[in-house]
Chains A and B, each alone.
Chain A
């Protein structure tokens, strides 16, 4: 097996073998999906059309934004990256393969949600599966970029949680997951454009639900793509193998540049 294949297979197994990763990749999002979908569709039937996009975005948030950064920080702090480095593992593999395998876990759980929600909660399935694929891939790409960037710049796992929650909680509350963006007040609806979840929901509406391709959908596609590319580029640039006596190529504050596409998305929404 090639080095990439061996590394990918190991990281994929780790996502199932490690209890905390299993929790973030599968148990927490699936239990949340089951409980919240059951309650929300009973309490608020208008939530039904949003079950699939909201829960898929939730899945990507838990596995890629909450779950992915910690192992990267731990690998740096525990000297795992040092072992990788002296044995010839390239920096890009050390960074991207965990992101890729976590993304695969997220896609698996997203598909479980998408295929079971119409049966369990009478949620409407995507009308356009090609559009759904674009929505899923871009959402996963954007969230994975943010997760990797958080893992690269966080000094320790406590800081990781802080950064992750800055994305996770607002996404849940004003990012269109629990409350549709269209029902938010004008200023709040605009501010919600700062979070990727709002753009993912817009892309789902336009491409998968078949509401029609418009300027907002195009903008959201651009924001997710640009946000993901910028996050991965910054993570690669700021990556450091070690935490002891090591200077990065740039200040960790450079990572804040990742908000530029999202600020643009908010301003132009």
Chain B
């Protein structure tokens, strides 16, 4: 069995331009085997171009790429069996049925059709349905089934949850977790910060073709402004008006019956709040303490770097 710290993907100084526009500007990152690695960034940040270079769809202008010990620009055949790809924009022939698609692509990968995957992804009843008659969500599920059919060691997903309903999204996350447990490496480009925070072991945030932050979601959120959000509602509406001199308090707002504040020292702020409530004889109705989310940190970073 191969060690989990083995590199599945290594990108060094990757550069790709379209005419004068530099889509990807000397980025480097590594992905270990069995890891879920998320590429995050606003539209036009270069995520899809990066993935397309890894998939062998684009030829880089500079730098080097190794995917499963393969150079995507030289060994295309080797690459095809090493990776499974769910593209952001792709299609199948309109009249191709779900079953035909599975048979067709498995034939090219030299494996038996994986009809069990269609079953797993809720496509069993659609086996004879033509591609054009599938909803967007079902088309995405079929693309995923085709990407996984030859059991590739590396799966690349570009916006995998776009167009999926909530149950499908949950199911996709379960499949991703199973794949990770089996040692499959997943590269994920997504706009869905909750998904990245939940699923990714590490993420890289891209802005204007460059990686501006990288690390685990926890590391990234910890290196931000470190403000903790406290939301509280009390029976007598304490804090909605009057005394708000709480230690560590940076900013606050009143939202209907809630007092929402951001503290740099959550322990001290909460201790003082609770003491004040007890002293005044008030009663807590609702209290929430939230760490900064990856989404908040993402917005902070992208706003700062885009400025």
A and B interact physically: yes
Q: Using a CB–CB distance below 8 Å, which chain A residues touch chain B?
A: 1-3, 5-7, 10, 13-14, 17-18, 75, 78-80, 82-83, 85-89, 241-242, 245
Q: Which residues of chain A are near B94, meaning CB under 8 Å?
A: 18
Inter-subunit contact A88/B81 (CB<8 Å): yes
Q: A79-B90, A241-B57 are in contact. Are A86 and B85 (CB under 8 A)?
A: yes
- Does B303 touch A at the CB level, under 8 Å? no
Q: Which residues of chain B are near A85, meaning CB under 8 Å?
A: 56-57
Q: List 20 additional contacts besides A14-B96, A88-B109; criterion CB under 8 Å.
A: A1-B103, A3-B110, A5-B107, A6-B104, A6-B107, A7-B104, A10-B93, A13-B95, A14-B93, A79-B87, A79-B90, A79-B91, A80-B90, A80-B92, A86-B56, A86-B85, A87-B146, A88-B80, A242-B57, A245-B58
Inter-subunit contact B55/A86 (CB<8 Å): yes
Q: How far in angstroms is the closest Cβ of chain B from A77?
A: 9
Q: Which residues of chain A are near B55, meaning CB under 8 Å?
A: 86
- Does B105 touch A at the CB level, under 8 Å? yes
Q: Which residues of chain A are near B95, meaning CB under 8 Å?
A: 13-14, 17-18
21 inter-chain pairs at a CB distance below 8 angstroms, sorted by A residue, are A1-B103, A6-B104, A10-B104, A17-B95, A75-B93, A80-B93, A82-B90, A82-B91, A83-B91, A83-B143, A83-B146, A85-B56, A86-B57, A86-B80, A86-B83, A86-B85, A87-B80, A87-B105, A87-B146, A88-B80, A88-B81
Q: A6-B107, A10-B100, A89-B108 are in contact. Are A245 and B18 (CB under 8 A)?
A: yes
Q: Which residues of chain B are near A10, meaning CB under 8 Å?
A: 93, 96, 100, 104
Q: How far in angstroms is the closest Cβ of chain A from B53?
A: 12
Inter-subunit contact A1/B107 (CB<8 Å): yes
Q: Which residues of chain B are near A87, meaning CB under 8 Å?
A: 80, 85, 105, 108-109, 146
B131 nearest in chain A by CB position: A80
Q: Which residues of chain B are near A78, meaning CB under 8 Å?
A: 91
Q: How far in angstroms is the closest Cβ of chain A from B119?
A: 20
Question: How many angstroms from the CA of A172 to the CA of B257 in the assembled complex?
Answer: 81
Q: Which residues of chain A are near B83, meaning CB under 8 Å?
A: 86
| Number of chain B residues close to chain A: CB under 8 A | 29
- Most B Cβ at <10 Å: residue of A5, A7, A88: A88
- Does B288 touch A at the CB level, under 8 Å? no
Q: Which residues of chain A are near B146, meaning CB under 8 Å?
A: 83, 87
Q: Which residues of chain B are near A79, meaning CB under 8 Å?
A: 87, 89-91
- Does B77 touch A at the CB level, under 8 Å? yes
Q: How far in angstroms is the closest Cβ of chain A from B81?
A: 7
Q: Which residues of chain A are near B58, meaning CB under 8 Å?
A: 245
Question: How many angstroms from the CA of A14 to the CA of B93 in the assembled complex?
Answer: 9
Q: Which residues of chain A are near B81, meaning CB under 8 Å?
A: 88
Question: How many angstroms from the CA of A15 to the CA of B81 in the assembled complex?
Answer: 30
Q: Which residues of chain B are near A17, meaning CB under 8 Å?
A: 95
Q: How far in angstroms is the closest Cβ of chain B from A195?
A: 31
Inter-subunit contact B103/A6 (CB<8 Å): yes
Q: How far in angstroms is the closest Cβ of chain A from B280?
A: 63
* Of the residues A2, A13, A241, A245, contact of B107 by C-beta under 8 Å: A2
Q: How far in angstroms is the closest Cβ of chain A from B46?
A: 12
Question: How many angstroms from the CA of A184 to the CA of B95 in the assembled complex?
Answer: 45
